[in-house]
Amino acid sequence: MKQLLIYCRPGFEKEAAAEIQDKASQMGCPGFARAKDDSGYVIYECFGEDDADLIARKLLFRELIFARQMLVVHAQVQDLPLDDRIAPLLEAAAGMELCGDIRVETPDTNDGKELSRFCRKFTVPMRQALRAKGLLTRQEMNNRPVLHLFFLANNHALLGYSYSFNNSPFHMGIPRLRFASDSPSRSSLKLEEAFHVFIPRHEWELRLTSGMRAVDLCAAPGGWTHQLVSRDMMVTAVDHNAMDAKLMDTGQVKHYKDDAFSWRPARQNTYWLVSDMVEKPARVVSIMAAWLVEENCQEAIFNLKLPMKKRYAEALHNLEQLKTKLAVLGGFHIQAKQLYHDREEITVHVYRPFKVAKLIPKD
Ligand SMILES: C[S@@+](CC[C@H](N)C(=O)[O-])C[C@H]1O[C@@H](n2cnc3c(N)ncnc32)[C@H](O)[C@@H]1O
C-alpha cells in the first residue's frame, strides 16, 4: 500500500503534511504529501510499495501532533451508484485483512457534516455486508484492524484500515464529550479531551483521582477549574479576574488574584498544573518547565498558542526547548496534540512518573 491518509483540523493541512513528511522520511519511508487547504485531511504518497502499512504500524500515532487519525488507503472508489454503494465497496475491499470494527467517516468540514447523517445510516448495512463477506469479524474486536470508509462526497470514498494499537480510538479521531451546563466556559471540554487523549483510562484512578491538589494558572472564569472540581480535586486558581461564583461556592477552589507568571505554591503538594494562558509559546514553556524542575507539580497540561505562520516549526522548536529545560529531571514524558477542542493551538502534556513510583510499596 502506498498511500497514508491523515485526518486533521481543517486549516492545519500544511502542518499535518509537513509533520508526516518529516516523520516518515526519518523512519526511512520517503514520499510526498498532498494537501488541499481547509479539506481536513492529507494524503502521504509513499515511494515504497509497502511503506504506508509500515508507517501505520511503526510510526507512533501518539507522537504526531497534528494528526487526528492515521490509516492506510486500500482503495479509492469514485462514481459510486447512489442506489447501491455497497456492491462496489465490497469489491474494493476484497483482499483486505480481516477487520474487527468499521467506522464510516467524513472530513471535519461543512461539506463533511452534510454527509454525516448518511454515514450514520450507511454504517449498519455496510457492516452487515462486510460480515457476510467475511471481511469483518462477527463481533466487534478491538485487537483487529479498524476498517475506515472516508466519504469525500456521497459517491466518492477512500477505503482503508488503521491498526487498533496505533490509532485514535475515536470516530473521526474526535472524542464525543458532553458539555456540563454548569461549567462557566466551554473550554472545560479542552481539558477533558486532554485527559481522554493523554491519560490511559486504566490509570485514571491513580492520576485523576479525587482529593488531588491542582493549580490552574490563568483560570478565570473557570472552565478548566470546573473540569478539575468535577473530578473532586482541590484547586488553586490564579487569575487577576474573578472566578465563577458557583464554582467558588463548591468550597473546592481557592482563588489568588495574583500574577500567574510569578506565583508559586507555599508547599510542594500539587499534583496537577494546568494552564490555558494566552502568551507567547516560549514564555509558557519557561513557566511550565520551571514548575516541573522545581518539583512544584507532578503532571502538567497546557496550551501553546500558534497564531504565527510557521506553526509546525514553532511547535517543534518549543517542544525541543521544553525537552532541553526538563533534561535535568532525568525522566519525563512529553506528548503534544492538536485536540478537537483546540483552535490555533496545541495542547502539551508532561508527566514525571517518579512520585507515583514512590507510592508503590517496596518489598
Ligand atoms: C483564556 S482565559 C483562561 C480561560 C480559563 N482557562 C477557563 O477555562 O475559563 C485567560 C485568562 O488569563 C488571565 N491572565 C492573563 N494574564 C495574567 C497574569 N499575568 N496573571 C494572572 N492572570 C492572567 C486573564 O485574566 C484571563 O482570565
Q: Known binding site: residues?
A: 187, 220-223, 239, 259, 276
Asked whether residue 88 is domain-assigned, the answer is yes
Asked whether residue 181 is domain-assigned, the answer is no
Asked whether residue 337 is domain-assigned, the answer is yes
Query: Alpha helix (H) ranges present in the chain?
Result: 13-26, 51-58, 86-93, 110-132, 188-198, 204-207, 223-229, 245-249, 281-293, 311-326, 354-359
* pLDDT tens per residue, range 189-245: 999 999 999 999 999 999 999 999 999 999 999 999 999 999 999 999 999 999 999
- Residues composing the chain: 363
Instruction: For ligand 1, atom 19, name the residue with the nearest CA.
Output: 259
Regarding whether 127 and 163 lie in a shared domain, the answer is yes
Per-residue pLDDT at 113 exceeds 60: yes
Regarding whether 155 and 47 lie in a shared domain, the answer is yes
Residue of 277, 279, 286, 287 to test ligand 1 pocket, by largest number of atoms within 8 Å of CB: 277
Residue 25's alpha-carbon distances to 7, 8, 29, 284, 289, in angstroms, are 19, 20, 5, 30, 30
| For residues 128-138, average pLDDT | 97
Q: What's the pLDDT at 356?
A: 46
Regarding whether 230 and 82 lie in a shared domain, the answer is no
Only one residue has cell 494528526, namely 67
Asked whether residue 362 is domain-assigned, the answer is no
pLDDT band at 354 (very low <50, low <70, confident <90, very high): low
Asked whether residue 284 is domain-assigned, the answer is yes
Asked whether residue 113 is domain-assigned, the answer is yes
Residue of 239, 257, 278, 283 to test ligand 1 pocket, by largest number of atoms within 8 Å of CB: 239
Grid coordinates standing for 15?
502542518
pLDDT band at 304 (very low <50, low <70, confident <90, very high): very high
Q: Which domain holds residue 158?
A: 3-173
Regarding whether 154 and 270 lie in a shared domain, the answer is no
Regarding whether 301 and 218 lie in a shared domain, the answer is yes
CA distance 125 to 74: 20
Ligand 1 close to Cβ of residue 186 (< 6 A): no
Regarding whether 94 and 43 lie in a shared domain, the answer is yes
Regarding whether 119 and 202 lie in a shared domain, the answer is no
Ligand 1: distance of its center to the CA of 259 in Å?
10
Regarding whether 285 and 158 lie in a shared domain, the answer is no
Atom of ligand 1 nearest to the CA of 259: 20
Atom of ligand 1 nearest to the CA of 225: 8
| For residues 314-324, average pLDDT | 98
Q: What's the pLDDT at 355?
A: 54
Ligand 1 close to Cβ of residue 276 (< 6 A): yes
CATH number at residue 17: 3.30.2300.20
- Among candidate residues 150, 173, 196, the one where a domain is terminated: 173
Q: What's the pLDDT at 324?
A: 97
Regarding whether 151 and 267 lie in a shared domain, the answer is no
Per-residue pLDDT at 279 exceeds 90: yes
Instruction: For ligand 1, atom 24, name the residue with the nearest CA.
Output: 218
Ligand 1 close to Cβ of residue 241 (< 6 A): yes
Which residue from 125, 133, 119 is spatially nearest to 86, judged by alpha carbons?
A: 125
* pLDDT tens per residue, range 48-69: 999 999 999 999 999 999 999 9
Total of domains in the chain:
2
Mean of all residue pLDDT scores within the chain: 95
Ligand 1: distance of its center to the CA of 337 in Å?
21
CA distance 193 to 340: 8
* pLDDT tens per residue, range 21-43: 999 999 999 999 999 999 999 99
CATH number at residue 270: 3.40.50.150
Q: Known binding site for S-adenosyl-L-methionine: residues?
A: 187, 220-223, 239, 259, 276
Only one residue has cell 463477506, namely 133
pTM of the model: 0.94
Regarding whether 59 and 153 lie in a shared domain, the answer is yes
CA distance 115 to 288: 42
| For residues 275-293, average pLDDT | 97
Q: What's the pLDDT at 361?
A: 43
Q: What's the pLDDT at 70?
A: 98
Asked whether residue 179 is domain-assigned, the answer is no
Regarding whether 200 and 169 lie in a shared domain, the answer is no
Ligand 1: distance of its center to the CA of 50 in Å?
48
pLDDT band at 1 (very low <50, low <70, confident <90, very high): confident
- Among candidate residues 143, 173, 203, the one where a domain is terminated: 173
The C-alpha angle 309, 312, 316, rounded to 5 degrees, equals 130
Percent residues over pLDDT 90 in the chain: 95
CA distance 75 to 89: 9
Task: Spell out a b/e string for 179-217, using b for 16 or more CB atoms within 10 Å of the CB, else e.
Answer: eeeebbbebbbbbbbbbebbbeeeeeeebbeeebbbbbb
Asked whether residue 246 is domain-assigned, the answer is yes
DSSP state of 228: H
Atom of ligand 1 nearest to the CA of 222: 9
116-125, 195-204, 345-354: lowest mean pLDDT where?
A: 345-354
